[in-house]
Amino acid sequence: MKITVTVETLNQQFKFVCRAHKSASARSRLIDPYFYEKYCAPGKIPKGVHYELELKTEVWSHQYARHIHYYVTPKTHTHPDRTFVCWTGHIPDIKAARAVFRMWCLITTYTMIKGQDVAKIPGFPKAPSDIVAWMANEHHIKVLRER
């Protein structure tokens, strides 16, 4: 399923597109197992139905790309050189996939404007709903449209 999010700042708009891929098991995932083994907390690798968000908007060439949270599958993997949202938590359904992508778009917009990884900013909220409010209230970054 294609998800499109347009983010608005005080003077710019950014459009992000991803394709949400549903997998029934770890064996059917598009992201290689190494990603989950390396980045997930012990015992927290998603099990069962899980969505992965493949980026269709090029963010990796941005001047602050090193602070943007994305992952490229290795050339040796079954699905090489595909770019995904870097998210280690379980995404069990399309509603959760939309929420994660929305949050990722807000965070990425902040990074593209400020050149900082928001996860390293003191006081950065952890809950997705808190992140949405924090971006809007503190930084005037909000979702304009979502399809």
Residue 86 domain boundaries: 2-146
pLDDT of residue 13: 96
The residues near 103 (Cβ < 8 Å, ≥ 6 apart) are 128, 131, 132
Count Cβ atoms within 10 A of the Cβ of residue 76 and give its class: 0-12 exposed, 13-18 middle, 19 or more buried: exposed
User: What is the number of domains present in the chain?
Assistant: 1
Q: In this structure, are residues 82 and 73 in contact, taking their beta carbons and an 8 Å threshold? A: yes
pLDDT of residue 12: 94
pLDDT of residue 62: 79
pLDDT of residue 64: 79
pLDDT tens-digit profile, the chain (147 residues) = 999 999 999 999 999 999 999 999 988 999 999 999 999 999 999 999 999 999 999 887 778 788 889 999 988 777 788 999 999 999 999 999 999 999 999 999 999 999 999 888 888 898 878 999 999 999 999 999 999
Which DSSP category does 119 fall into? G
- Report the C-alpha gap between 103 and 77 in whole angstroms: 28
Q: In this structure, are residues 31 and 10 in contact, taking their beta carbons and an 8 Å threshold? A: no
In degrees and rounded to multiples of 5, residue 110 shows phi and psi of -55, -50
